[in-house]
Structure 1
């Protein structure tokens, strides 16, 4: 496979589809008025004030069929005063008894709903979305990037009432202007869009016609006129919290830190939201607590790279779209908010017992975001984390403290400028991490300073049907010689590889500078879409102080194309077909990845779904799997997957996913099954059960490296790994604002190793020459010490040994949360969290052996009560 020829041919092929022009529907407009009499929010729309304005309506079909007359009519009215925007929506229904009124917690819908999107900036790129389900559940999202990003973590204060009658149902909104952002002018024109979901038909209709194949969303909104004289809202919300917790764990009589088996804590903190102007907001948090946040799911990592876990903390989630700056490939990003407040980095030595903090305390954080009338937006996040100490008892019995994390300051800044109504967007992001006095207990290997920055450009042309994206980034880290040495030899880089012909370790360096860039061009609208692009990450790139980066030293070229049919046929409600191909190499020219994928996805007229795809990969080279050893070549592979989903409107629905992977030369095999069963016994109760089974065999799994004379032996083995897990989630809505939520995950993983070998000629064209398999006379297992002992070349003495790599893991994690939003913005949480685990390296444990341990797991149980009250001043 040759990347240049493939990409050029694909580019010419795709361009044959031309720069076609499509006529857009006329832009609708609605004129509102200032209220002359009070409105009582009751979901009735019978106040005299509503007679001041006319009904808006004439909705058209959006999905599954565009620009057709919907089966049910929808109308709306809009009014305003100095403080609020009032929206009334009448969802007519000729069969009101069939209205689906299922409940969920905030931002989760499983029934009929209506929605208004408000582009109060009128920038054609961003909007504020407010949704109302027929059962009275509220949803709100911040829409950015012209509708490509929807941030459901945005939780403004607003008010809603709904009602049902013999003609359908009504939603009445009362939205404080302080929750919106708008320019300081006398007369306003805002973009608006209304959407209705008719659940029983799984159909959506909109007020302003927008083709689902359009290149964007917000820029195609209709207009809201008539708002005059509204002033900047001085928003000031203060939300203090009080928390009390009890943690119980198994007693350890000899451990002075766990001898009582319990720990009681109390805490105070504060969140605040300050509207500096109508378009600038400051968010503050002091001593934040995230005790009610779900635990991360269990996973086993046999790779050389760190795992990615998504952010779950509300303060960092809200507005995260603005502070995002993806580099290339998966989760790689200049800013990864979980670096703030993560687990400490230091670890004391020569201690007998230790009380080690699970997380670094965030002393405080501030986030300011805004956008002005000229399309200039910005966001700044500043946070400082605590100097953490571990209470220790030394081996001589003395007690003391050891510093395990220095004071650290995190600073992130983002700017963007819209040009020509958002058709072109230019932006930049920068991060800086500063650590203070990071010495001792391994902290001397942390960077003193870490910088990263990037500039991006997104340009649309031909009525936004085509577009290009360009990004360039750099990083610089500073620290001791030991810190920079560790950076060069870390798993993201492995400069020390003996066959690394383009980079080498420099132990005298005290800084490292790297770069990255990405470019793509493509067609962004229509039934046929495509894109072609290239990106690179230099070997010296360092992002993991403030961002996330799995691996550097990569050049990636790719193409993607999709054909979609958003039209009902005799068989399908919708269809799409996708093709993707890529070619990767490192800066030394080695092919680190190549392959192509084809997949298709359908929804049938009975509302069932089906998808399938195949990936065909060629020979590739890994620069990391031998953990600093030479690169190793792998044969190609084929991966096939398919999925089936039943009717999503039913009270019982099922999805089934199955995948298989075959490695060439039979060096690997793997397969997996995941099932999701979602049950709705009542409109208020939802239960989902998601079992997963994964099986993997890899004949070239890295185990260890050992010195042998003046050579290094890289030991591999055949691993057979089985993983069983099941996520169970139940949500019960007593009211739309009072929910009981349970999540639990039993997790079992077992790995058994055999057929040990050492790397020989890892880049040989002949697969069998890439390793030397130990014969029975060369290796034996010492059961008493649980060690494998190796005798090379018929030696009678042990040349080297390594630990039994077998593993067995059993875990159960769960939390039970009562969440009561007793008034908008103020919440009471009651939480019980459980975390139990078991690990050993016993041999040949099967599923039944391990599953029986689930009921007897010992671990931590945490009980907490958190009370928040939001003052609006």
Structure 2
């Protein structure tokens, strides 16, 4: 019934709102040249005189459809191996041009993006960027402009020069870095995007009105590419790494003697199997130059935190493998490969243990690309090694397996059709382990799915969906462990549709999502949809899945103010509705929300949100106990940001979630400061403070006689972090970057209570508060002892849950691209992790746990050389 209602509403909206407009395509016709072109940014080579200028740019922002402040022109030539682009960006005040030096992909200052849809599939594009300072950048665009991937780093050449008319730039792009099919004359999608940084203005060669949903699909066309020969890519990049580590010496521990030195090496290769498809190979990869993950503390029992992928091999072309089933949940999550060992070694008193931080990747290969016929293909094969913890007992050593040899396999395909307005695809993953002595992990895990998308009426309307299935198998112990994990909780006492079966050796589940709506045309936008994850659904061997046994329904409607006025440049307002059930039919959640944002005439931004959850019931809160009802909740947030193009800019944010009965109150404060005192130097500081007061924070489960007790307490939890970044660019190919983040979290508990009626709307009926006569704290064992009936006998006890955690992570990276594609890295990493007395102040803990500690240091030198065909 609910699905039919959603479809009816969707159909009504489709009939009510009008269609977008379609514009005539611009065409630029290039020519082949046999003359040499020197890439120095000056456009003074004779070859440029053989083709005409393209131009007549039109403003995109802030006022779409009008002439830009200054015009832009371009020329395009090609030879047997390269595509050449010349850019003339006029500016009446050359001294005001923002020529900011940044590291590659910095995207700061005046710049021009060249957007090339060489597949001409109207969904994907290669973007090459040059700034007025000569800094290069590149992105791979997918989903018709909805996803821009900065991780793509092809080998190409560019330079730029400022003169009395503005600035000029030149590009030399190898055909081996592009993908195109076979044809006598190639026709490619083409657009140019110019940004005048100080005016916050964007202009395009091919106009794209704001009410049109597509971006790549609306590009103009490049003609005149005759008899292009396939340039198969061949790049081999060996590397050598020297690493020296220092840390505080631990007396008696042979694994912590104060220093460690190692030499490592490996190889990366990129092989063009065809002009469309590329094979990437890495052997013994090293990711030592990758920035550290931010600090965090988890209180909800879900110890699996989502972190973004930063390793270059897995980041490139990651969009091809994407298969989301809702939120961050994804059939493939590359951070599972090379993960921290999932088991630990048992040791005896007096023994020392050395456990690997991550699993070693022996080798990985990735075959990916998109064909002229509209096939997107991705195949990933990876093997991680056995990882052993080494245990020392007075000089005698033994090894214990903590992570087995594992093979990960992923294959992903999609096929475009219907003039590229539709696609149909699928994914399959396989994880297989050589478990040996480990019986708590899955022996094998398989998942697969099908997905589709269809667009119509000038791509303004769409419907999209996917269906996925998982199957995991292993020992009885492994499958029982999965059934009882917080993601599944088959042991929940009030879940009649679930039960733990200790004899099972496999689980099979399903998940998926379907949604659709209007994303272009006029000022109205909307979408409706649903997603689900069945109780047995399990992806975490190679994917990411937070929680199962959920059916979500969602929808929103949005209005856009797209034409600037004297007050604002653009604005939007949205209304959102969400609801959630479990597979037993329990109505667990309903939520109403409204949000809006305004980009003011001075380019400041404000945004805000307010929501109300009258019903919020959690299946996982009591970790296997009955469903728990949260108090009615109101939440809101707002943020304001200054003009980001200024040398100094800032943003401030505040959010608050609170129960209407004062049972909880969570506040977040954010401050971000950015300053660029020099064209070559930028610094930023981000501060976050979180204050969490909750009278019913889960503590533990105990038994009073035969009666289970779910112990809660009032937590006073504060988290504080500072993230500092500094970037100094000596030239576009030589830069120094620093990242540092201290993070501290402290939690103090009081007013302990236990659950009496978990679904009561009233907190006083939901829990019973223990008075001081029922609680005794044992300082020696650091436990609370509870005597509920005051008969002088302890009924049960639980450990003191107070905590204080601190972490510091930093990276100083010097990167020199001494020739295109070949790099030299010097990395200095520092860090420490610790805990202390929670009774100390938060800043006192920061000083004691970080500033006064001896930091661990890692010095790393990495040298790569890229052989190009």
TM-score by length of 1: 0.97
Match of 2:124 in 1: 126
The answer for unaligned runs of 5 or more in structure 1 is: none
Match of 1:376 in 2: 375
Are residues 521 and 133 of structure 1, via their aligned partners in 2, closer, same or farther at CA, if it must alter by over 3 Å? same
Match of 1:211 in 2: 209
The reply to whether residue 715 of structure 1 matches residue 714 of structure 2 is no
Match of 1:25 in 2: 23
8 Å Cα contact 1:184-1:278 kept in structure 2: no
Q: Within 2, Cα distance between the matches of 1:194 and 1:846?
A: 51
Equivalent of residue 47 in structure 2, options 34, 46, 49? 49
Partner SS state of residue 665, structure 1: coil
Equivalent of residue 189 in structure 2, options 191, 194, 198? 191
Are residues 269 and 4 of structure 1, via their aligned partners in 2, closer, same or farther at CA, if it must alter by over 3 Å? closer
Query: Offset at 1:16?
Result: 5.8
Match of 1:75 in 2: 73
Superposed CA deviations along residues 687-736 of structure 1, whole A, max 9, x for unmatched, are: 00111111011111111112332232211100010111110000000001
Partner SS state of residue 101, structure 1: coil
The reply to whether residue 820 of structure 1 matches residue 816 of structure 2 is yes
8 Å Cα contact 1:3-1:583 kept in structure 2: no
8 Å Cα contact 2:612-2:633 kept in structure 1: yes
Q: Within 2, Cα distance between the matches of 1:338 and 1:379?
A: 17
Equivalent of residue 671 in structure 1, options 647, 667, 670? 667
The reply to whether residue 557 of structure 1 matches residue 556 of structure 2 is no
Q: Within 1, Cα distance between the matches of 2:245 and 2:688?
A: 30
Q: Within 2, Cα distance between the matches of 1:410 and 1:849?
A: 42
Match of 2:728 in 1: 732
Q: Within 1, Cα distance between the matches of 2:75 and 2:141?
A: 22
Q: Within 1, Cα distance between the matches of 2:5 and 2:573?
A: 20
Equivalent of residue 85 in structure 1, options 79, 83, 86? 83
Match of 1:144 in 2: 142
Are residues 163 and 654 of structure 1, via their aligned partners in 2, closer, same or farther at CA, if it must alter by over 3 Å? same
Superposed CA deviations along residues 200-259 of structure 1, whole A, max 9, x for unmatched, are: 11010000111122111111111111111111112110000000001111111211211x
Superposed CA deviations along residues 425-459 of structure 1, whole A, max 9, x for unmatched, are: 101111100001x143xx31110110111100100
Partner SS state of residue 319, structure 2: coil
Match of 1:338 in 2: 335
Q: Within 2, Cα distance between the matches of 1:580 and 1:10?
A: 14
Query: Offset at 1:648?
Result: 1.4
8 Å Cα contact 1:116-1:192 kept in structure 2: yes
Equivalent of residue 656 in structure 2, options 649, 655, 660? 660
Query: Offset at 1:7?
Result: 5.1
Match of 1:272 in 2: 269
Match of 2:835 in 1: 839
Match of 1:447 in 2: 442
Superposed CA deviations along residues 742-762 of structure 1, whole A, max 9, x for unmatched, are: 011111211110000111221
> What is the CA RMSD across the aligned residues, in angstroms?
1.5
Q: Within 2, Cα distance between the matches of 1:712 and 1:426?
A: 51
Match of 1:689 in 2: 685
8 Å Cα contact 1:63-1:566 kept in structure 2: no
Match of 2:429 in 1: 431
Query: Offset at 1:71?
Result: 1.3
1:291-370 to structure 2, matched below 5 A, reads: 291-305=288-302, 306-328=304-326, 330-351=327-348, 352-370=351-369
Query: Offset at 1:131?
Result: 0.4
The answer for unaligned runs of 5 or more in structure 2 is: none
The reply to whether residue 802 of structure 1 matches residue 798 of structure 2 is yes
Q: Within 2, Cα distance between the matches of 1:796 and 1:698?
A: 30
Match of 1:471 in 2: 466
Partner SS state of residue 793, structure 1: coil
Q: Within 1, Cα distance between the matches of 2:16 and 2:8?
A: 14
Query: Offset at 1:371?
Result: 2.1
Q: Within 2, Cα distance between the matches of 1:679 and 1:13?
A: 49
Superposed CA deviations along residues 148-183 of structure 1, whole A, max 9, x for unmatched, are: 111110000000011111011111000000000000
- Which stretch of the first structure deviates more once superposed, 774-783 or 77-86? 774-783
Superposed CA deviations along residues 568-618 of structure 1, whole A, max 9, x for unmatched, are: 112001111111110111111223321111111111111111111101112
Are residues 68 and 812 of structure 1, via their aligned partners in 2, closer, same or farther at CA, if it must alter by over 3 Å? same
Partner SS state of residue 439, structure 2: helix
Match of 2:111 in 1: 113
Equivalent of residue 573 in structure 1, options 569, 583, 600? 569
Match of 1:778 in 2: 774
Are residues 368 and 849 of structure 1, via their aligned partners in 2, closer, same or farther at CA, if it must alter by over 3 Å? closer
Superposed CA deviations along residues 103-148 of structure 1, whole A, max 9, x for unmatched, are: 1111112210001111111111111100000001111011111111
Are residues 325 and 755 of structure 1, via their aligned partners in 2, closer, same or farther at CA, if it must alter by over 3 Å? same
8 Å Cα contact 1:837-1:858 kept in structure 2: no
Match of 1:638 in 2: 634
Partner SS state of residue 610, structure 2: strand
The reply to whether residue 510 of structure 1 matches residue 505 of structure 2 is yes
Q: Within 2, Cα distance between the matches of 1:34 and 1:6?
A: 58
Query: Offset at 1:67?
Result: 1.2
Superposed CA deviations along residues 15-52 of structure 1, whole A, max 9, x for unmatched, are: 4633x234312101010000031111111111111111
Match of 2:489 in 1: 494
Partner SS state of residue 483, structure 1: helix
Equivalent of residue 787 in structure 2, options 783, 786, 791? 791
Q: Within 1, Cα distance between the matches of 2:234 and 2:361?
A: 23
Are residues 271 and 397 of structure 1, via their aligned partners in 2, closer, same or farther at CA, if it must alter by over 3 Å? closer
Q: Within 2, Cα distance between the matches of 1:23 and 1:566?
A: 15
Partner SS state of residue 851, structure 1: helix
Query: Offset at 1:847?
Result: 3.0
Query: Offset at 1:661?
Result: 1.4
Equivalent of residue 597 in structure 2, options 582, 592, 601? 601
TM-score by length of 2: 0.98
- Which stretch of the first structure deviates more once superposed, 63-72 or 725-734? 63-72
- Which stretch of the first structure deviates more once superposed, 554-563 or 700-709? 700-709
Q: Within 2, Cα distance between the matches of 1:723 and 1:764?
A: 31
8 Å Cα contact 2:338-2:358 kept in structure 1: yes
Partner SS state of residue 322, structure 1: helix
Query: Offset at 1:859?
Result: 3.8
8 Å Cα contact 1:838-1:857 kept in structure 2: no
Q: Within 1, Cα distance between the matches of 2:287 and 2:216?
A: 34
- Which stretch of the first structure deviates more once superposed, 548-557 or 856-865? 856-865
Q: Within 2, Cα distance between the matches of 1:851 and 1:531?
A: 49
Query: Offset at 1:9?
Result: 8.5
Q: Within 1, Cα distance between the matches of 2:395 and 2:713?
A: 42
Equivalent of residue 455 in structure 2, options 446, 460, 463? 460
The reply to whether residue 288 of structure 1 matches residue 285 of structure 2 is yes
Equivalent of residue 543 in structure 1, options 533, 539, 542? 539
Q: Within 2, Cα distance between the matches of 1:135 and 1:254?
A: 55
Partner SS state of residue 277, structure 1: coil
Q: Within 1, Cα distance between the matches of 2:510 and 2:272?
A: 37
Match of 2:229 in 1: 231
8 Å Cα contact 2:595-2:609 kept in structure 1: yes
Partner SS state of residue 304, structure 1: coil
8 Å Cα contact 1:28-1:208 kept in structure 2: yes
